[in-house]
Amino acid sequence: MMIDTHCHLYDEAFDLDRSQAVQRAVDAGVNLMLLPGIDSQSHAAQEALEAQFPEYFRQMMGLHPTSVNSDFESELAIVQQKLFDPQRHYIGVGEIGLDLYWDKTYLEQQSVVLRRQMQWARDLSLPVCLHVRKAYNELFGLLRDLNYGSYRGVMHCFGGSVQEAQRAVEMGFYIGIGGVVTFKNATLAEVAKAVPLERILLETDAPYLAPVPYRGKRNESAYIPVVASKIAELRGIPLRQVAETTTASAKDLFAL
Ligand code: NI
């Protein structure tokens, strides 16, 4: 059994074959998939998918950094209302973070939104799922200012250096590894070898970032074994060990 700790199977990329994609994942041994929130545009689809296959999905809730603009307060209010609704059950706050890849215009607002959601995660004793792109310095600075001491969460789709990964692990974070680890000359391959196996989580980020040999095509949760095999190969350990250890870590972090 393996867990896809980060996928967007509610994305419109799966509108024509969503049930089959779920079945392919289950057939591949991936019988639990975690759905991060993005913004109010996708909440309905996310909730519908979990309602359709409650045994295979768990939900997180959060406002994604690339969905942050000058109008962020109304989006944050929706996230807050859902997170604190006792009728709902979220396993984490995410995905939240900083993304300076496309645009630095809203860095200030992204920081405000991230801090607010980090506090909610703390209030609710939930782990965080962090999305960080071209912003590791800014993120570490923000975490230093927050000064929580230790953190419960995952740096999803990790894209930093080995040093940054080790720093994140020391702070308490897990490292989310997906299809990029199969790309040629990926720094992520070095990261996958350097960090403790107990701190690695498997993820796809489907429909994005499909592993080789599917690179460039739509990604899906059924490809989790491809990622796990690559990590096993890089570390020179059996696939079974990667599957068991990462599954235990995911269950631990998200209290599954
Ligand atoms: Ni994502």
In terms of C-beta density within 10 A (0-12 exposed, 13-18 middle, 19 or more buried), how is residue 60 classed? buried
pLDDT for residue 237 is more than 90 = yes
pLDDT for residue 17 is more than 90 = yes
Q: Which residues surround ligand 1, an ion (CB under 5 A)?
A: 205
Measured in angstroms, how far is the CA atom of residue 150 from the centroid of ligand 1? Answer: 24
Measured in angstroms, how far is the CA atom of residue 205 from the centroid of ligand 1? Answer: 5
pLDDT in tens, 105-152: 999 999 999 999 999 999 999 999 999 999 999 999 999 999 998 999
Measured in angstroms, how far is the CA atom of residue 94 from the centroid of ligand 1? Answer: 9
Residue-wise burial string across 202-219, b where 16 or more C-beta atoms lie within 10 A, e elsewhere: bbbbbbbbbbeebeeeeb
Q: What share of the chain is helix, strand, coil (3-state, %, to 5)?
A: 50, 15, 35
Measured in angstroms, how far is the CA atom of residue 190 from the centroid of ligand 1? Answer: 22
The pTM of this model reads: 0.97
Measured in angstroms, how far is the CA atom of residue 26 from the centroid of ligand 1? Answer: 20
Cα–chain center distance at 150: 19
